[in-house]
Chain A
Amino acid sequence: QSALTQPASVSGSPGQSITISCTGTSSDVGGYNSVSWYQQHPGKAPKVLIYDVSNRPSGVSNRFSGSKSGNTASLTISGLQAEDEADYYCSSFTSSITYVFGTGTKVTVL
């Protein structure tokens, strides 16, 4: 299974909104609503931000939102803050009853 495709880096100024894309195929992203997003700070374990395309777990800021169109899912961070500087990964369930992660996106707050 091939990793989902994400941009290597995205940057924005404090207060701005940024969007990270995650492109897969009809066998993963396009075929299921089991897309999730994770934030990872250096040396830390990933933390889930979004599950099932657009749902936020309890405790996650509403500045994080998710969506999907066809084979591409997206994570939007609004009101960008310095603490949002981290690596972000998408993940999807697949038709092989497995999971696949995205290539990862480094978010820089300018």
Chain B
Amino acid sequence: QLQLQESGPGLVKPSETLSLTCTVSGDSVSSSTYHWGWIRQPPGKGLEWIGSIYYAGNTYYNPSLKSRVTISVDTSKNQFSVRLTSVTAADTAVYFCARLNSGWHSYWGQGTLVTVSS
């Protein structure tokens, strides 16, 4: 049974860096079949795609976030991570990690709320 679990600080100060990790169980982030991605949802709003990574290191980012976001993979820990720099209150959201099949997000983590506030 595939499971994805997000982890990281629930509170980040403005201008600092948001860092989250997704731990995968029941599958391998080294799989050549899938990409692994991040999506976020501000409170009361819709879903926003952040980006994705392939085990070989290929990354793809939402153009609106590209200058601030980095997604990486740690195959030894079966995890992948997202870093978002220079955060503001607008980055307050529930952050989801997900497995991407070819063209769709097949499995999602439960999500973790990150609040940007001093």
Contacts and interface: CB of A to CB of B under 8 A. Distances in A.
Given A100-B49, A101-B46, A1 B64 contact: yes
Given A45-B109, A101-B49, A103-B46, A34 B102 contact: yes
Contact of A32 (B49, B103, B106, B110): B103
B61 A98 contact: yes
Interface string A14-42: 00000000000000000011101010000
A97 interface: yes
Contact of A46 (B52, B100, B108): B108
A51 interface: yes
A104 B103 CA distance: 19
A104 B27 CA distance: 30
Interface residues of B, number: 25
B108 A91 contact: no
Contacts, number: 65
A43 B112 CA distance: 11
Interface of B is mostly: strand
A95 B34 CA distance: 19
Interface of A: 1, 3, 32-34, 36, 38, 44-48, 51-52, 57, 89, 91, 93, 96-104
27 contacts: A1-B62, A1-B63, A1-B64, A3-B46, A33-B103, A34-B104, A36-B105, A38-B105, A44-B110, A48-B105, A51-B101, A51-B104, A51-B106, A52-B104, A93-B103, A96-B63, A98-B49, A98-B51, A98-B60, A98-B61, A98-B62, A99-B49, A101-B47, A101-B49, A102-B46, A103-B46, A104-B47
Given A51-B101, A99-B100, 20 more contacts: A1-B62, A1-B63, A33-B103, A34-B104, A36-B103, A36-B105, A38-B105, A46-B105, A46-B108, A48-B105, A91-B47, A91-B49, A93-B103, A98-B60, A99-B37, A99-B105, A101-B47, A101-B48, A103-B46, A104-B47
Interface of B: 37, 39, 46-49, 51-52, 60-64, 96, 100-106, 108-111
